[in-house]
Chain A
């Protein structure tokens, strides 16, 4: 079945450490997104990519980095520059060029700083 896979589900990061969250989709979608969600809060856009080898900063990109080397993969790296990374992270994708009207989400990843 087509969908989005995020891994790991739970991740612990030590102070000063970089960690990478994986997001893979087999839906042939061009557009992919990373959101951060703090407890009881809404979704805040970190980065998005509308095509391979191109990505744009969202509202809270500082301390994060992404790559889009393959259409199906959009990993998010939480760097040591992100001072408060403990949160729930959601990856999403949509079909391009107006041909799709559904947003697909991964199941999310919990990141905790220890």
Chain B
């Protein structure tokens, strides 16, 4: 079964600085999707960035970028020029490309709480 591990329960960054959130996963599959979701205090889940495993190029969305290392099964999120509005819980998620399997092939990490200091 697949697993997703976020080893940093909490992180802190100074406003305008850069921070990297870690995520590792375990799978025997070769084709899958990876996601980072942001959950602010409103609890709404907001998609930050997604990566398709067959694409070698790292995904980027404005100030957010990932470092996807398929062989190492690592999917870290880098937030540049951190803003106060970035403070939230961040979840890493894995989704198999293939239908079926345990948990419907949708697995979340336990989350990292990011604080941004002014």
Contact = CB atoms under 8 A, between A and B. Distances in A.
Interface in A34-50: 35, 37, 40-43, 45, 48-50
B95 A48 contact: no
Contacts, number: 62
Interface string B80-118: 000000000001010111111001101011110100000
Interface string B32-48: 01010100000111010
Given A48-B103, A50-B104, A103 B35 contact: yes
The size bracket of the interface on A is 20 to 34
Contact of A98 (B50, B91, B97, B103): B97
Contacts of B103: 45, 48, 56, 58
Interface string B47-76: 100101000000000000000000000000
Interface in A87-114: 88, 90, 92, 94, 96-98, 101-103, 105, 107-108
